[in-house]
Amino acid sequence: MGVIHDARLDPSRPTAFVAAGGAQARAVVRVVGLRKVFKGDMVANDNIDLEILPGEVFGLLGPNGAGKTTLIMQVMGLLKPTAGAISVLGHDVVAHPNAAKGLVGFMPQKQIGHREMKVDQALYITGRLRGMSAAAARAQTEEVIARLDIGEFRRRPVEKLSGGMNRLATFAVTLMGRPQLIVLDEPTNDLDPLRRRRVWDVVAELNREGATVLLVTHNVLEAERVIQRVAIMSAGRIKALGSPGQLKARLGDEIRMEFVMRHTDGAADATVRRAVAPVEPLRVRPGRYVALVPRAEGGRYVDRALAALGEDVEDFRIAPPTLEDVYIQLDGHPLDDDA
């Protein structure tokens, strides 16, 4: 499967964005020929070229083990590439891994390791360590607490927070110091729907305020609201790159049919397969299936599927294609059980 080229980075398809000054000169993150091989010859990243432009929310999408976290760890200067070049805000982070750390906020996938430290202490100290004055760190601590609505647990030790609260506290810490580039690795894991919505709202707000965001997430359907460009990774490589609209256009004139079956056994697989034949459905998790069918024949497919599935179907939806569908088409595998 070939890479979908990004129109804004393609000189043969100039846009207003490129015309404004040239993407290469303005890139916040520039990755060229990146390769990372771990011990045992495990290739985590292979031949990756990527540019993230100022003021955009860039999503990295792909299944577990696709190499997304490895890629951002190298962008952060926390892993040394086997080959290739990475510049962040004009700094060569391969040669000088610490050069850009003052300008980048990083939310790792794991916790940040604080134990007895209280949430507001963690925020303030992070601000000071990021070079803020005492007054500025204090002010931003209050601002972030209010923005994320985490005042109720600001005085709780970090280790005593629930998984979701801990995730939110880690997100809050990442914002301290008002970094120019914010790198978020699965920011909404463990969060309830309301908190997830709050995080996406704040990401959108930060972006409007001028921050560039590099986002790794499994919550593709939600992230689609804020992502402006996306790279779909699989097996260490970038399979597709472009805006969500460009990538979804790749699916052509198709619509998405989604079924949730009452039973999750093998018989359900066969039933759904018969119901949408000759289109091959994908089981995205036990009991949940997606089929992309030609739009012009959508009505016929719907009638036939509902008749065939009868009482076995618990829920049925029909919608335009999503980024998840782009991924499925590219890789032939479901994105993630949580997606």
Partner 1 sequence: MTMRKWLTDYRYLTLAQYYNQLGWLPFMVVISALLPVGMLFGLRLIGGGIGGAGVPFVITGSAVVSIVTMAVTSVATDLFFERRLGAFVYYASLPIARSAFILAIVTIRLVNTLPGVVVTLVAGKFLYDADLAFSPWLVVVILLSILSLIGLGAAIGLGVSNEQVLHMLANLSIIFVMFGAPVMIPADLLPGALQVAGYFLPPTYAANAFRGAVFGASVTTYWVDLLVLAGFGVLSFIIVTTALRWRAE
Footprint on this chain of partner 1 (rule: CB under 8 A): 69, 73, 76, 78-79, 97-98, 101-102, 104-106, 108, 110-118, 121-122, 125-126, 128-131, 157, 173
Nearer to partner 1, 148 or 326 (CB): 148
Whose CA is closest to 244, among 319, 324, 181, 184?
Answer: 324
Mention every residue, 6+ apart, whose C-beta is less than 8 A from residue 29: 50, 51, 52, 58, 75, 86, 87, 88, 181, 212, 214
Cβ 203 to partner 1 shortest distance, Å: 18
Cβ 289 to partner 1 shortest distance, Å: 36
- Please report, for residues 4, 66, 325, the alpha-carbon distance to residue 330 in angstroms, rounded to integers and kept in the order given: 10, 13, 8
Cβ 195 to partner 1 shortest distance, Å: 20
Q: What is the DSSP letter of 151?
A: G
| Alpha-carbon gap, residue 240 to 233, rounded angstroms | 7
Nearer to partner 1, 37 or 117 (CB): 117
Inter-axis angle of helices 193-208 and 134-148, nearest 10: 130
Q: Please name the helix (run of DSSP H) or strand (run of DSSP E) that holds residue 197, with its range, or none.
A: helix 193-208
Nearer to partner 1, 88 or 261 (CB): 88
Cβ neighbours of 159 (radius 10 Å): 12
Whose CA is closest to 77, among 45, 104, 54?
Answer: 104
Cβ 274 to partner 1 shortest distance, Å: 46
- Please report, for residues 25, 28, 128, 260, 312, the alpha-carbon distance to residue 307 in angstroms, rounded to integers and kept in the order given: 57, 53, 64, 15, 10
Nearer to partner 1, 78 or 270 (CB): 78
Cβ 284 to partner 1 shortest distance, Å: 29
Nearer to partner 1, 165 or 330 (CB): 165
Cβ 163 to partner 1 shortest distance, Å: 13
Nearer to partner 1, 129 or 267 (CB): 129
Nearer to partner 1, 215 or 282 (CB): 215
| Alpha-carbon gap, residue 181 to 190, rounded angstroms | 24
Q: Please name the helix (run of DSSP H) or strand (run of DSSP E) that holds residue 35, with its range, or none.
A: strand 29-38
Cβ 112 to partner 1 shortest distance, Å: 4
Cβ 194 to partner 1 shortest distance, Å: 26
SS3 sequence of 295-329 = HHHHHHHHHHHHHHHHHHEEEEEEECCCHHHHHHH
Nearer to partner 1, 166 or 322 (CB): 166
| Alpha-carbon gap, residue 265 to 275, rounded angstroms | 16
